[in-house]
């Protein structure tokens, strides 16, 4: 299999699938290459940023040489980074706290250059053994200010995560969302598929919601013995991936699979010898290759190589310096984090934790707010005042009474509120826990918005207005990342449409909703939902077992609490651009299709909420336009009789209408009062008959005529007058 990799200077090269040993060490570079393949703009930005950073490193080195200074990584300053371990397994208890503590110890020793085994470093490598100043502390508070030990366990039904899909980093795909990446170094511990031990994100390489590293739980030290992981269970996988997180590249420069590599790749560090390929196993003594043929040979003990864990002992001084510079350049907010500061409990502290109700969309103008409160105080909480304010109006106060021990939570339903049509701001806050002044007012107040519009009976939207989403519409964007947006690059009506940028949406499995105004179809006889769609894929649709972007039309009868799927298309069934498109898809005028969904089964189901749902698999863009809900109402006389002739009287043409579609209809004749047949319409002997037929009576004189309808089992006549 040929895989296209991007080296960090921006050049593409082909690399054969390289598997020096099972399990494969690291998926970081293939994931980075795939991200760049989908996002050329990010590639260009990243490459430029990397070039700037590399020049900065060279200038720093030159300055040190000119001034006879030692490498910055050997200074006495210590930079401490809060770290959180997200253990995501079907049984997360199999990873013990003791294992995490041992892993943290190894990580800190490796980054300080104090691994006890480093005494065994050969004399010819010792000048390349750096002493660093980045250390890691287990988080002691969560992003919401709760007490933690920095170890979060999550039960998942996903038995194995695919590195390229990043599912472990998202709750929606069986993993767990990261803690604020600006304050915590996030480490996910899970089962990784395809023999991958770990993967990492480089600084500013894409989605902020995926920053951090993921490692196989079998790479942790001190766990159950697994024969296939015997050389990789010493805790060095996390050290290696953390090197990537702080802008280190593989020591061989990812330039070849061959034992005689072309030696053109670079890890951008001058004191690491050039190396042909990843090291397999554990060398001793001097080992040379085609890129370093003499001297002390290649640095097979470097943490950014693939040697067995027990043989990885070294970050070089310039690697240490590069990581420190990356920390201070790209990840400096980690140093201002209070993540490792212990939580100080006040005596009286009631936290407004989560607004449990209302949701962002309500289908009635009356709702009951609900607030989850937490006793952040050190003593028992027995009462608190909870106030609700809508649009800066008069607060509505509610006194909660109960029993809430320290760090426990409760959800409280509050007095109902009535709102007018539109979007409203709802603020809920707590005060006077146990009648005392709250000693931490920073966590007392939460604000949300709620939208209410009375249900209509139709929708007609081509997104030409200045407001998006249009009034009555809304968007549900769970990961606060890429979602539905209005664009003016393509349309079927006017100049605007809506699209979702799956081409650059790398958070596979994420679902985004574009929801229509609430409708009520009561009293209608039939209803149809139509829209135009344009879509393409990055991958050829003939490829089997691929994960495709999916577009669905959903309907909810309970205001979005649950949905039924009415329409679901993906891959070959969805695309309007037939061939795989490896560039950012913008449809031409001919690359649109009109699709329709029958809503008639829901005409007596009360208020209805329709939604488009996109599930991304990082394929290509989907566009929507000309969204319409139209209804049909049958003449009540026609509904009652099943057969009408209109208009009556008439002047030129008459229509013979049936409701519903007639069965057993053989023919329709037009006669004068003398019984003379003037016109005849024969219907097919098989198939569904039409509901509407027309006679032209213009050639005939004024007077009375007879319409005679013949069924298999009966004959029906109607008289009609021509003026």
Contact present, 259 and 289 (Cβ < 8 Å): yes
Query: Using CA atoms, how far apart are residues 313 and 113, in angstroms rounded to an integer?
Result: 8
Q: Which residues, other chains included, contact 472 with Cβ-Cβ below 8 Å and sequence gap of 6+? A: 451, 453, 456, 516, 517, 518
Query: Using CA atoms, how far apart are residues 310 and 150, in angstroms rounded to an integer?
Result: 27
List 445's β-bridge partners, or say none: 429
Contact present, 189 and 217 (Cβ < 8 Å): yes
Query: Based on the number of CB atoms within 10 Å of its own CB, is 474 exposed (0-12), middle (13-18) or buried (19 or more)?
Result: buried
Backbone phi, psi, residue 61, to 5°: -65, -45
Which residue stretches of 493-567 are H helix? none
SS3 367: strand
> Is the dihedral angle over the CA atoms 278, 284, 289, 293 positive or is it negative?
positive
- Angle at which helix 236-245 crosses helix 97-112, to 10 degrees, equals 60
Backbone phi, psi, residue 637, to 5°: -65, -40
SS3 76: coil
SS3 204: coil
- Residue 197's closest CA among 299, 352, 63, 312? 312
Annotated catalytic residues are 241
CB atoms within 10 A of CB 380: 12
Query: Based on the number of CB atoms within 10 Å of its own CB, is 372 exposed (0-12), middle (13-18) or buried (19 or more)?
Result: middle
């Amino acid at each position: 299999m040929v895989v296209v990799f991007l080296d960090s200077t921006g050049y593409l090269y082909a690399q054969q699938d390289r598997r020096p040993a099972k399990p494969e060490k690291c998926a970081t570079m293939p994931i980075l290459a795939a991200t760049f393949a989908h996002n050329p703009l990010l590639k260009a930005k990243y490459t430029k940023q990397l070039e700037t950073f590399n020049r900065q490193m060279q200038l720093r080195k030159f300055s040190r040489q000119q001034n006879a200074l030692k490498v910055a990584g050997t200074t006495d300053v210590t930079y401490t980074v809060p770290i959180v371990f997200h253990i995501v397994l079907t049984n997360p208890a199999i990873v013990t706290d003791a294992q995490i503590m041992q892993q943290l110890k190894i990580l800190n020793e490796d980054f300080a250059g104090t691994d006890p085994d480093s005494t065994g470093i050969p004399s010819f490598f010792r000048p390349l053994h750096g002493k660093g100043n980045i250390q890691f502390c287990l988080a002691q508070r969560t992003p919401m200010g709760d007490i933690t030990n920095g170890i979060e366990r999550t039960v998942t039904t996903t038995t194995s995560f695919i590195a390229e899909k990043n599912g472990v980093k998202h709750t929606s795909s069986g993993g767990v969302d990261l803690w604020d990446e600006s304050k915590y170094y996030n480490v996910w511990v899970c089962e990784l598929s395809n023999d991958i031990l770990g993967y990492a994100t480089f600084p500013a390489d894409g989605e902020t919601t995926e920053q951090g590293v993921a490692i196989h739980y079998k790479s942790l030290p001190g766990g159950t013995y697994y024969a296939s992981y015997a050389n990789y269970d010493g805790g060095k996988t996390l050290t290696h991936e953390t090197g990537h997180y702080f802008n280190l590249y593989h020591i061989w420069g990812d330039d070849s699979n061959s034992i005689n590599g072309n030696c053109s790749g670079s890890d951008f560090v001058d004191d690491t010898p050039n190396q042909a390929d990843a090291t397999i196993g554990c060398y001793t003594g001097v080992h040379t290759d085609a890129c370093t043929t003499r001297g002390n040979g290649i640095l097979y003990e470097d943490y950014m190589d693939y040697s067995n864990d027990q043989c990885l002992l070294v970050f070089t001084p310039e690697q240490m310096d590069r990581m420190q510079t990356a920390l201070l350049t790209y990840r400096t907010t980690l140093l201002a984090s209070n993540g490792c500061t212990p939580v100080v409990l006040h005596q009286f502290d009631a936290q407004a934790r989560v607004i449990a109700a209302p949701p962002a969309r309500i289908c009635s103008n009356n709702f009951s707010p609900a607030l989850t409160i937490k006793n952040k105080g050190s003593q028992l909480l027995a009462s608190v005042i909870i106030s609700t304010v809508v649009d800066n109006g008069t607060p509505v106060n509610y006194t909660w009474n109960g029993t809430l021990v320290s760090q426990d939570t409760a959800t409280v339903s509050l007095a109902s509120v009535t709102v007018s049509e539109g979007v409203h701001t709802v603020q809920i806050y707590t005060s006077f826990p146990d009648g005392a002044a709250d000693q931490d007012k920073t966590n007392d107040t939460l604000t949300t918005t709620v939208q209410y519009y009375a249900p209509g009976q139709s929708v007609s939207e081509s997104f030409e207005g200045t407001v998006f989403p249009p009034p009555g519409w809304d968007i549900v964007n769970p990961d606060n990342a890429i979602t539905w947006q209005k664009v003016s690059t393509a349309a079927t009506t006017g100049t605007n449409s809506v699209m979702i940028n799956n081409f650059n949406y790398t958070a596979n499995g994420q679902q985004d909703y574009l929801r229509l105004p609430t409708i009520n179809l009561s009293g209608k006889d039939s209803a149809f939902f139509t829209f135009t769609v344009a879509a393409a894929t990055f991958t050829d649709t003939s490829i089997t077992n691929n994960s495709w972007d999916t577009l669905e039309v959903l309907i909810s009868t309970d205001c979005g609490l649950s949905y039924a799927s009415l329409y679901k298309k993906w891959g070959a069934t969805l695309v309007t651009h037939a061939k795989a498109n490896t560039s950012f898809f913008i449809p031409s005028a001919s690359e649109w299709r009109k699709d329709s969904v029958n809503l008639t089964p829901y005409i007596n189901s009360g208020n209805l909420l329709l939604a488009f749902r996109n599930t991304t698999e990082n394929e290509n863009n989907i566009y929507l336009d000309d969204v319409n809900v139209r209804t049909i109402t049958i003449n009540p006389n026609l509904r009652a009789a099943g057969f009408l002739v209109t208009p009556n009287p008439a002047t030129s043409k008459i229509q013979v209408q049936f409701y519903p579609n007639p069965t057993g209809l053989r023919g329709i004749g037009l006669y004068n009062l003398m019984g003379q047949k003037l016109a005849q319409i024969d219907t097919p002997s098989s198939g569904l008959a039409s509901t509407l037929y027309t006679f032209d009576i213009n050639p005939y004189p004024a007077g009375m005529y007879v319409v005679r309808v013949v069924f298999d089992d009966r004959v029906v006549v109607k008289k009609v007058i021509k003026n």
